[in-house]
Amino acid sequence: MASEAFMQVRNALGAIDNGTITDANITGLPDRSSGAFGGVETQVIIDRMIIDAFSRDTEFNKIVTRERMQPGTITHSWNLQGDAGLTKSIFYNEGGKHIPNPSLRKNCIVVAKSLRSDYEVSGLLIAGGFFDVLAAEGRDALTQMNLVEEQAFVNGTDASDGVTGSYLGLHQLLLQNTAHGDTSAIYGLTRGTDDELDVQAVDGGTSGTARGVLDLADMDAIITKCDKRKLGGRRVFLMSFERMDEVQQLLQPQQRFSGGIEQPAGFRVPTYRTVPLVRSKRMSFVGVTNTGSASNDASTDAVIFYLDMDNIVFKTVGGVDKAHIPIMGNGDTNNSFSRSDVRGGYYKTYGMIVVKRFDSQGMIWNLLTP
């Protein structure tokens, strides 16, 4: 039974019933309506765990091999061999002679690019924040760098979906002159003149007429084309998230051909004929189509890449790969010193993505959007 003193306190606070006290106090805000003085005993407490409302995840850039370039240069150069000399070997009569045909080699060269991701927090927020604002901003800068890097790897310099100032991405690098009419300059060579730049291509539709629906025969065909150029190696199919759903539905009646495999980056992916199926959100914007006129840079989901990952690498200059540079204060354009009350820094990478060999790479193109 409530004591007389307790009831007097309740009446003094203006509480009419239990609901009045409860409703007022759980809001965490001063509510003086009807004489109730709530919102003081119970405050709004914000959870220190920040919940992401966006994706930090990437799959493709995690499986690209990263190699340090030779010191003393910002360019990577290699020789691309087109053949082994077509008339080196012949059957001959005893005592006969033969003039061998030399092998065909062409020099490729690519220049490194600089990528950075900055963050900054004022001294006031660092001192008064109820969570580590500086660490959170630093983590977000690194996340954004990973997302932009994958965008550059896949979409490259595409005007609509690529990254300004980027190196060439798969969308520009992996095309064919015969199928797509591409004559781009790649690594100092020219597609159309230098056949070594052509990839293997399977038209998923009817070129010049319509895009088509993906089927397993398309995937089998591109595997065969690429295997005829290079057996074995580390192969992957690269596709959008939506395309993965389409492939999985195709694989349901063919369970004997599907499975799963652990990737070097530590995540598990499904497989088709033992080839890993890797996703990238950026593949939703790789459109190479021909429905009457060729479009090699459409912003649509129309391609699956079949990649020879032994010949796709990311080269870094001086080992500078997501290197963290802390900064105290903000740079002042009008003075040679800084007095700004901020802390922050940036992450930086010097390098470039390199497709060292093209004929062992493949693509299924002209596909309907899943």
322: left (phi over 0), alpha (psi -120 to 50) or beta: left
Which residues in the chain come in under a pLDDT of 50?
A: 15-16, 18-28, 37-38
CA distances from 200 to 211, 360, 363 (A): 18, 7, 6
**Residue at 315 is within a domain:** no
**Residue at 5 is within a domain:** yes
Judged by DSSP in three states, 260 sits in strand
- pLDDT value at position 53? 73
* CA-only gyration radius of the chain, Å: 30
The range of the structural domain enclosing residue 1 comes to 1-46
**Residue at 246 is within a domain:** no
Residues 6+ apart with CB under 8 A from 90: 98
**Residue at 348 is within a domain:** no
Alpha-carbon distance 322 to 114, whole Å?
11
**Residue at 10 is within a domain:** yes
Judged by DSSP in three states, 283 sits in helix
Tokens at 243, concatenated? 């395309």
**Residue at 65 is within a domain:** no
137: amino acid identity, one letter: E
- Tens of pLDDT, residues 306-343: 999 999 999 999 999 999 999 887 655 555 556 678 88
CA angle 194, 195, 200 (to 5 degrees): 145
**Residue at 341 is within a domain:** no
- DSSP 8-state assignment for residue 31: B
Judged by DSSP in three states, 120 sits in strand
- pLDDT value at position 92? 84
Number of compact structural domains in the chain: 1
**What's the per-residue H, E or C state across 129-173?**
CCCCHHHHHHHHHHHHHHHHHHHHHHHCCCCCCCCCCCCCCHHHH
**Residue at 11 is within a domain:** yes
- pLDDT value at position 19? 47
Contact 171, 360 (CB under 8 A): no
Query: Nearest to residue 353, comparing CAs of 60, 192, 152, 130?
Result: 152
> Which string of b and e fits 244-265 if b means at least 16 CB within 10 Å?
bebbeebbeeeeebbeeeeeee
